């Protein structure tokens, strides 16, 4: 009887070695049938206190009953950037800081409540990874491409730009391209886990699509005021293409599957952690998740690559420069001389000199930023403006058509979107940037002009 079989009988992985020893002892005696041994194991798992003192099951019973004294693990502290953060995000962050292997944490100014770890939460763990601290949309990312088109062409050739967006990608839950797109990522090893293997065909069909929720593809004015050697562009105004999406249905399947595994393996005394359940990265399950997560990172990057390739081809443009980054991912990094796993759930990597993109909303600017490498943020920054209103409340409060007409008067054409993504649901991006001036410096600005999002009101985790 192995650990997986014992798990089905109610024995957590951390207690498996004691259960296996008990099974071997009973089997060796020849007095119990296999079904009787299974039944006894179930009895121990359900009432371990009755088996303390039992010569065969005492070690298992004590392990099942064991609890770590509160004084053994002092929760770590964390620093917060920004003020306008809901109480739920603080509670989630405090829970995350109680994970025994936690060694660092921070909360970004765009923070709001999420699943497990809040959106805008940064968490460093020693030797462990939390699937829900990475997120449902693994490797959700930003990509900005500066194009060789004149800025005035967005007005003069609006229909051409609109057609490029509408035909270059697809939006919505489960959306696919009628003709699957090609990319080298589909030649990678999708057998790193059962879940990636089973989702490969779905991933192929969804490659180059944008999904739902706050995901978007848009054209806008890219303004570079000063010389930036790492961008290799002359100061001035350019047309740029900006996209936001992730690993689509495949990434969601990886998160769900391995989070459930982590919860089943969670030590009894930490059962209340729920969606903060962790995996040892050196375990077979942890390594499977790590490999699957990294494959989803490659897939998300490929997804953006295909979107930008398709849209720019239809537009007839050439890419002059691009900037991109994940913001739902985990990285092995060295902090304070120790390798740790840094989770950035809706947070942008901001190591010293690292370029990234932080968006606002359909009516507010995005910024290309350069990281300043702040150690207390674990080299992180916000990933956007951050929501300040639930999707349900937004739909009750705003009328998308009215917002669409008002934005058009301001020179912003929103092709499709939902009332849950209008500008009024987001924090002020200028304030968010001011609150993290010690985390990043602004390099360039992007102002939206032609925007496309999912229009059916379906959601995706930020």
Give 344-383 pLDDT, tens digit per residue. Answer: 999 999 999 999 999 999 999 999 999 999 999 999 999 9
pLDDT of residue 70: 44
**Selection from 129, 152, 402 nearest residue 288 by Cα:** 129
Query: pLDDT of 216-236, one tens digit each?
Result: 999 999 999 999 989 999 999
Residue 116 φ/ψ region, left for φ over 0, alpha for ψ in the -120 to 50 degree band, beta for the rest: left
Do residues 370 and 441 make contact, with C-beta atoms less than 8 angstroms apart?
yes
Q: What is the torsional sign of CA 317, 322, 327, 330? A: positive
Q: What 8-state DSSP symbol labels residue 226?
A: S
| Alpha carbons 151 and 89: distance in angstroms, whole number | 40
Q: Are the CB atoms for 363 and 423 separated by under 8 Å?
A: yes
Q: How far apart are CA 385 and CA 434, in angstroms?
A: 11
Which of 334, 284, 352 is closest to 124 using CA atoms? 334
Q: Which residues contact 218 (CB under 8 A, 6 or more apart)?
A: 165, 241, 242, 243, 362, 448, 449, 450, 451, 452
Spatial separation of the C-alpha atoms in residues 437 and 38, rounded to whole Å: 60
Nearest in space to 144 (alpha carbons), one of 241, 218, 283, 36: 241
Rg (CA), the chain: 25
Question: For residue 267, what are its two tokens?
Answer: 């030590």
pLDDT of residue 356: 98
**pLDDT number for residue 73:** 65
Strand order of the sheet with strand 328-335?
79-80, 102-112, 119-125, 338-345, 328-335
Instruction: With a cut of 70, list the residues of the chain below it in pLDDT.
Output: 67-73, 456-462
């Amino acid at each position: 009887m192995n650990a997986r079989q014992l798990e089905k009988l109610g024995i957590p992985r951390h207690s498996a070695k004691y259960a296996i020893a008990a099974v071997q002892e009973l089997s060796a005696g020849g007095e119990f049938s296999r079904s009787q041994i299974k039944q006894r194991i179930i009895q121990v798992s359900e009432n371990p206190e009755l088996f303390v003192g039992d010569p065969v099951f005492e070690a298992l019973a004590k392990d099942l009953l064991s609890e770590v004294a509160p004084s053994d693990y002092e929760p770590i502290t964390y620093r917060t950037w920004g003020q306008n953060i809901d109480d739920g995000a603080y509670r989630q962050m405090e829970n995350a800081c109680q994970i025994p292997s936690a060694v660092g944490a921070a909360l970004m100014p765009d923070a709001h409540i999420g699943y497990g770890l809040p959106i805008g939460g940064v968490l460093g763990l020693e030797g462990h990874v939390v699937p829900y601290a990475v997120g449902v949309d693994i490797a959700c990312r930003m990509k900005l491409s500066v194009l060789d088109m004149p800025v005035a062409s967005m007005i003069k050739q609006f229909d051409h730009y609109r057609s490029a967006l509408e035909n270059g990608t697809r939006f919505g839950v489960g959306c696919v391209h009628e003709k699957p797109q090609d990319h080298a990522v589909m030649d990678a090893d999708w057998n790193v886990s059962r879940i990636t293997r089973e989702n490969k065909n779905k991933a192929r069909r969804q490659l180059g699509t944008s999904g739902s929720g706050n995901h978007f593809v848009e054209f806008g004015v890219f303004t570079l005021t000063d010389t930036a050697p790492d961008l290799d562009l002359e100061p001035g105004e350019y047309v740029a293409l900006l996209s936001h999406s992730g690993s689509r249905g495949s990434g969601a399947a990886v998160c769900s599957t391995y989070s459930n595994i982590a919860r089943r393996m969670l030590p009894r005394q930490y059962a209340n952690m729920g969606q903060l359940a962790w995996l040892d990265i050196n375990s077979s399950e942890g390594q499977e998740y790590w490999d699957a997560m990294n494959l989803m990172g490659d897939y998300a990057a490929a997804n953006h690559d295909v979107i930008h390739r398709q849209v720019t081809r239809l537009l007839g443009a050439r890419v002059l420069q691009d900037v991109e980054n994940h913001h739902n991912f985990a990285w092995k990094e060295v902090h304070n001389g120790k390798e740790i796993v840094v989770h950035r759930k809706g947070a942008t990597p901001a190591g010293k000199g690292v370029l990234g993109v932080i968006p606002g909303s359909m009516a507010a600017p995005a910024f290309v930023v350069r990281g300043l490498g702040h150690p207390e943020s674990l080299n992180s920054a916000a990933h956007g403006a951050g929501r300040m209103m639930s999707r349900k409340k937004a739909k009750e409060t705003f009328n998308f058509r009215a917002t669409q007409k008002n934005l058009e008067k301001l020179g912003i054409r929103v092709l499709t979107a939902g009332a849950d993504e209008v500008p009024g649901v987001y924090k002020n991006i200028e304030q968010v940037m001011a609150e993290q001036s010690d985390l990043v410096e602004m390099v360039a600005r992007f102002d939206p002009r032609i925007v496309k999002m999912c229009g059916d009101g379906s959601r995706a985790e930020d």
